[in-house]
Structure 1
Amino acid sequence: MALHYSRGTATLSFMTTEAQGHAPEELPARLAELLDLYADHLLLERGRSEHTVRAYLGDVRSLLSHLVATDPDGRLEDLDLSMLRGWLSAQAAAGVARTTLARRTAAARTFTAWLTRTRRIPRDPGVRLAAPKTHRTLPAVLRQNQADEAMKAAESGAAQLDPVALRDRLIVELLYASGIRVGELCGLDLADIDNERRVVRVLGKGDKQRSVPFGGPAAEAIELWLRVGRPALANAQSGDALLLGQRGRRLDQRQARTVVHEVLEAVPGAPSLGPHGLRHSAATHLLEGGADLRVVQELLGHNSLATTQLYTHVSVARLRAVHDQAHPRA
């Protein structure tokens, strides 16, 4: 069944299903109200993104449905470690992916910690809930020559100074030049760009600000967009948004993803990537060029250095592939 959540200016809609694939039963009113309060906590107090809130609410609703299936009264005091493990075990048996189970474990821990902190349960069972180990796969990335071809394709498309083509060039240039996330890109305002210093101010996850540099080609794309492209699309609905759709509103993430896919389709042999693929590529190419790992961590806005270290594995994998192909005794 569909569950719709609305609070203030934020509206979240999501579907939740049990691990077995059928819709869960309606929650008792008391637990449904609890879920609303928890959504307020995530969205307003923790400052989580709508995507994160949507995922966590779906996971917690699944947990509460499991609680009700076990105990029709849905008593929170029955939410112990054994029940948490049983909830995850049922999903694992149904073939739920390890990465999904890991996320649901994190969601359950966050929820039980909130229940304990707000004195809804006497002790936190989530502190002893172990997450399944995930098999991390190396992200697909562009080769440096493919990234160069993609930027040239976007530049040639904008040669006639068509407003949309100028915008599309800026999308791929800025994503690759800075390594920012697509949500961060679409959230940029005019005041966030300092084209003289070649720095963009980004509001990242957890409402954390960081400044990210970009190079000459991106600066040129910004200048052309601001001088020729944006004025042609801007209207009363544009506000301070840097990037606009064809109707003058702030560009949304789906449009940006479509642009990236279409540009990369013009590059022979390039993998099918979206904006996050350009982010992966930028990080990999920075490290291959000798950038310090902690500098790349700061540029990408990673909380943990371990997340950034994934890109060193990509680089080593490439070195190994070249070695295996070229070395006579590989």
Structure 2
Amino acid sequence: MKYRINNQVVLSQIPLGPLAAHIGSFADFISAQGYALYTIHRQVHLAADFSQWLKLKGIELHCISSDHPRLYLRDRARQVQPCRGDAAALSHLIGFLRGEGLIPTEKVSEPRLTPAEHCAQAYEQYLREARALAEATIVNYVPFISHFLKDCFGDGPVTLSDLSARDVVSFVQHQAQRLHRKRAKLMTSALRSFLKYAHYRGEMSLDLAAAVPVIPNWSMPSIPRAISPDQVKQLLEGIDQHTAVGRRDYAILLLLARLGLRSSEVALLELDAIDWNTGTFSVRTKSGLRHEFPLPFAVGKAIAAYLRDGRPVSGSRRVFLRAKAPIRGFRGAGAIGSIVRHALKRAGIKAPTYGTHQFRHGLATEMLRQGASLGEIGDVLGHRHPQTTMIYTKVDLEALRTLALPWPGGAL
């Protein structure tokens, strides 16, 4: 006798055990995540077998823990050839049961922190709550401070009043040798911030921030590597817009190339941020501020095509979603970078880099060559400081040559 779970899955027998009444809801849950029919079948059958095992072991619903799937799979392996996705499938099941409130959330004992880690954690909280710094800044600063405290105090007590200028200078000199110049400057900024924080809290009588060595900063040492307009055109023409993934990738590449968005801004773009009536949209920049952009016709058309004929059905408010289950928004900027790398390789383009920032550089370079001012370029790219935009004055050498005065006395 067959038992129908929903309109997609049929079991050979009625499910038994503590999960029997919830297997249908689980099937609907994973179906809504966009999994293929074969995967839904496999996960539901595994859930039914797991429920039968729980019944044989005398384990009730409220007693199920994350250890039970592991024990079940160990027993199952004695009779059935294990499949690679079995553990992940049962992990989805446990997550579903917890989300529905059917089994309790397990308390994970927090690892015991060393005094240095406690100190770094307090500094992190200060940056987030008192200073309200951008998350990107916090993520970059705190590891340097953890390393500094570990280097100075090991796993023992942290007595910041014992620190000396020699400790600070020694740490910077040692670390700067193995870091890129930009990372080294970031490290020194983090150290100055932490030492000022410690002095402000009264944990240090001396303000050792002044003892942090200065990393040499040559003005605009390198020219940004920019993708050329011809390469952008070739890249866009190589995208197959007849597929859902192609429509998504085409819209993403247009946002990068035509508006110079950062990869994180594209990944986190939400449906509510687009105002179709006014033809504008806004993104949250890395500094945490909102930046409004005009929505060019070609870009809006590409996004609309994806939303209408490519975007999977989902409750997510993100504009761009994963093409494979679980269907959800991208976790971060890395996914956009991956899309760019694959698109460049498929098109056979030897771009300056395989990263996403080359599109910002390419847009700025082209605007400069067409006569845009540095202020206009900075506004488009969302630069907070004019110095950031100044680097693009190095890219248009031909335009700069027209400003050169002739040599007195003519040619020799």
TM-score of the two chains, using structure 1 as the length reference: 0.77
1:36-72 CA distance string (max 9 Å, x none): 1112223344444544323212111111122216x96
Q: Which residue of 2 aligns with 1:150?
A: 235
Does the CA contact (< 8 Å) of 1:177 and 1:214 recur in 2?
Answer: no
1:101 aligns with 2:184: yes
Distance verdict in 2 for CA 1:79–1:213, change over 3 Å: farther
Which residue identity is paired with 1:85?
Answer: V
Does the CA contact (< 8 Å) of 2:259 and 2:380 recur in 1?
Answer: yes
Partner-residue secondary structure (3-state), 1:142: coil
Which residue identity is paired with 2:320?
Answer: L
Does the CA contact (< 8 Å) of 1:177 and 1:282 recur in 2?
Answer: yes
Distance 1:196 1:122 in 2: 59
Distance verdict in 2 for CA 1:251–1:319, change over 3 Å: farther
Does the CA contact (< 8 Å) of 1:46 and 1:206 recur in 2?
Answer: no
Does the CA contact (< 8 Å) of 1:201 and 1:211 recur in 2?
Answer: yes
Taking the TM superposition and a 5 Å limit, the aligned residue runs for 1:177-256 are 177-230=258-311, 233-236=312-315, 238=316, 240-246=317-323, 247=325, 248-252=327-331, 253-256=333-336
Does the CA contact (< 8 Å) of 1:98 and 1:132 recur in 2?
Answer: yes
Partner-residue secondary structure (3-state), 1:206: coil
Distance verdict in 2 for CA 1:191–1:173, change over 3 Å: same
Distance 2:298 2:158 in 1: 59
Shift of 1:227: 1.7
Which residue identity is paired with 2:385?
Answer: S
Which residue identity is paired with 1:281?
Answer: G
1:176 aligns with 2:253: no
Distance 1:108 1:283 in 2: 33
Does the CA contact (< 8 Å) of 1:174 and 1:214 recur in 2?
Answer: no
Shift of 1:184: 1.3
Does the CA contact (< 8 Å) of 1:48 and 1:205 recur in 2?
Answer: no
1:125 aligns with 2:208: yes
Q: Which residue of 1 aligns with 2:172?
A: 88
Aligned CA RMSD, in angstroms, stands at 2.7
> Which stretches in structure 1 are left out of the alignment for 5+ residues?
1-26, 321-328
Does the CA contact (< 8 Å) of 2:195 and 2:208 recur in 1?
Answer: yes
Q: Which residue of 1 aligns with 2:338?
A: 258
Q: Which residue of 2 aligns with 1:308?
A: 389
Distance verdict in 2 for CA 1:115–1:298, change over 3 Å: farther
When structure 1 is superposed on structure 2, of 73-82 and 205-214 the one drifting more is: 73-82
Distance verdict in 2 for CA 1:176–1:35, change over 3 Å: same
Q: Which residue of 2 aligns with 1:66?
A: 151
Does the CA contact (< 8 Å) of 2:115 and 2:156 recur in 1?
Answer: no
Partner-residue secondary structure (3-state), 2:396: helix
Given candidates 117, 120, 130, the residue that maps to 1:35 is 120
Distance 1:148 1:47 in 2: 41
1:51-95 CA distance string (max 9 Å, x none): 4323212111111122216x9653201334332111111224x54
Distance 1:46 1:278 in 2: 32
Distance 2:275 2:204 in 1: 50
Shift of 1:203: 0.7
Shift of 1:167: 0.7
Number of residue pairs the alignment of both structures matches = 286
Does the CA contact (< 8 Å) of 1:184 and 1:204 recur in 2?
Answer: yes
Q: Which residue of 1 aligns with 2:76?
A: none
Distance 2:114 2:144 in 1: 18
Shift of 1:106: 0.8
Which residue identity is paired with 2:203?
Answer: R
Distance 1:251 1:222 in 2: 16
Distance verdict in 2 for CA 1:188–1:268, change over 3 Å: closer
Which residue identity is paired with 1:259?
Answer: I
Shift of 1:250: 0.8
Does the CA contact (< 8 Å) of 1:234 and 1:244 recur in 2?
Answer: no
Distance 2:207 2:285 in 1: 30
Does the CA contact (< 8 Å) of 2:261 and 2:381 recur in 1?
Answer: yes
Q: Which residue of 2 aligns with 1:276?
A: 357
Shift of 1:225: 1.5
Distance 1:205 1:219 in 2: 23
Distance 2:195 2:399 in 1: 42
Pick the structure with greater CA Rg: 2
Distance 1:52 1:300 in 2: 19
Distance 1:39 1:173 in 2: 37
Deviating above 6 A after TM superposition, structure 1's stretches of 4 or more consecutive aligned residues are 317-320
Distance verdict in 2 for CA 1:185–1:118, change over 3 Å: farther
1:218-261 CA distance string (max 9 Å, x none): 1211121222222xx1223x2x1111112320123222111111
Partner-residue secondary structure (3-state), 2:328: coil
Does the CA contact (< 8 Å) of 1:146 and 1:270 recur in 2?
Answer: yes
